[in-house]
Structure 1
């Protein structure tokens, strides 16, 4: 399959002005130092969105999926791979079409798998891995890749109330933190935070594992030095005849 991607560029600029005055018979110089920052990210042309925004769900939860491209879903269809089915189209034994959305009213463990949007021409969107568990604990984590430098909050949730119980969080099998309220925030994420996360609530059980992907953008810094010169004219204007 082909992946359709596009380059997204963010531009910011800072201007620092330097002013110099030379002697009276020298020009006045005005320097402008312009710092231009280009933040370049590669993104897919189409994007699969999931609501609620989570990669894990309890059995019999409600999930809505949508293919989006520039605020439009025209020309894209939703497909999935599960342990039982390969490349099946939404509405073909799973999901209910409602406008530009595909709704799964009651999720089951057999709905666990990889979901993506596909166009008639062949390109596909980002792939999303959804997990449906029959257990009593899930980890709510970002379903889409997160941008490097952003803050990410993980929520360890039980099927029964109260859902904000003390929880332990793990990354790649190792304990990283215990939190009294069941949620953990990773500040200013970097590529080192990428990995497989899960959580555990004592007396309730352990969540499935979910992979968190961190997207790194390339920053290009351009420095432009602009020199503007103005003539400091003294006396009579040029071309005027001096009288003795």
Structure 2
């Protein structure tokens, strides 16, 4: 009986701690993450910048990779626009990133993929609004000219384009999903989630 009571108390304590942590890490519209270049996928050795906007300089860039939270190794400028630049990104820098104030307020987050492969999908780093137009591009690491590309959503072929881009006009929630592309004879990009938000 005492063992049962102790287990119950431990479960209640764990629940309380989880709830407290969730309350202390609420997403706030006052803190905003912007990424340059504005895309979710990046080639290895490229520069990637994270900007924490709408803050008083007390904001840190945080991240999760391999299910472990970490603080990226970069300089954050203590200004109203905190910035962090990874000058040479590696596949190990892939993960979810967000800005967090000392008070526990969190910005929007973005899942960044750094690939050693020859192809990436250029898709917006931030969610797109319902009704907007968006263009997905399939980019080759060494070729800048238009190349025939094949696009997939949730691993289903949706378009084979003679160019390297695929427009999505008047975006709706049904367009949300995991997109990737491939260039015949070259390779395929990783997959990235295209998030769609309702108008605010």
Contact 2:27/2:108 (8 A) holds in 1: no
Which residue of the partner structure matches residue 38 of structure 2?
Answer: 53
Matched, 1:76 2:99: no
Secondary structure, counterpart of 2:159 in structure 1: strand
State which drifts further: 156-165 or 184-193: 156-165
- The answer for the alignment partner of 1:3 in structure 2 is 26
Given candidates 80, 96, 118, the residue that maps to 2:75 is 96
Max Rg structure: 1
CA separation of 1:73 and 1:144: change in aligned 2, threshold 3 A: farther
Q: What is the CA–CA distance in structure 2 between the aligned matches of 1:95 and 1:153, rounded to whole Å?
A: 31
Uncovered stretches (5+) of structure 2, i.e. residues with no partner: 1-21
The alpha carbon displacement at 1:188 in A equals 0.4
User: After superposition, what is the alpha-carbon deviation per residue over 1:6-37, rounded to whole angstroms, capped at 9, x for unaligned?
Assistant: xxxxxxxxxxxxxxxxxxxxxxxxxxxxxxxx
Partners of 1:123 and 1:162 lie apart in 2 by 40
- Is the Cα–Cα contact under 8 Å of residues 180 and 189 in structure 2 kept in the other structure? yes
State the secondary structure of the residue aligned to 2:96: strand
Q: Structure 1 184/78 Cα, relative in aligned 2: closer, same or farther at 3 Å?
A: same
Distance between the aligned counterparts of 1:108 and 1:4, measured in 2?
Answer: 28
Cα displacement (A) at 1:3: 2.1
Q: Would you say the 8 A contact 1:168–1:201 is kept in 2?
A: yes
1:212 aligns with 2:158: no
| Greater RCO, 1 or 2 (C-alpha within 8 Å, sep 6+) | 1
Aligned partner of residue 127 in structure 1, secondary structure:
strand
Contact 1:157–1:163 (Cα < 8 Å) also in 2: no
TM-score between both structures, scaled by the size of structure 1: 0.68
In the alignment, is the contact (CA less than 8 A) between 1:198 and 1:206 conserved in 2? Answer: yes
* Preserved contact between residue 134 and residue 169 of structure 2 (Cα < 8 Å): yes
* 3-state SS, counterpart of residue 164 of structure 1: coil
Q: Does 1:189 align with 2:189?
A: no
- 1:179 Cα deviation after fit: 1.2
User: For 1:194 and 1:73, how far apart are their aligned partners in 2?
Assistant: 33
The gaps in structure 1 that reach 5 residues or longer are: 6-43, 219-244
**Counterpart contact for 1:141–1:212, Cα < 8 Å:** yes
What SS does structure 2 have at the residue aligned with 1:110?
helix
Q: Distance in 1 between matches of 2:146 and 2:75?
A: 32
**Deviation for aligned residue 1:180:** 1.3
Question: SS at the partner of 1:135?
Answer: coil
**Map of 2:113 onto structure 1:** 131
Alignment-derived partner of residue 158 in structure 2: 176
* Counterpart mapping for 1:233-244 below 5 A: none
Q: 1:127 deviation in Å?
A: 1.0
Structure 1 residue aligned with 2:141: 159
- Pairwise CA distance, 1:116: 0.6
Aligned length: 174
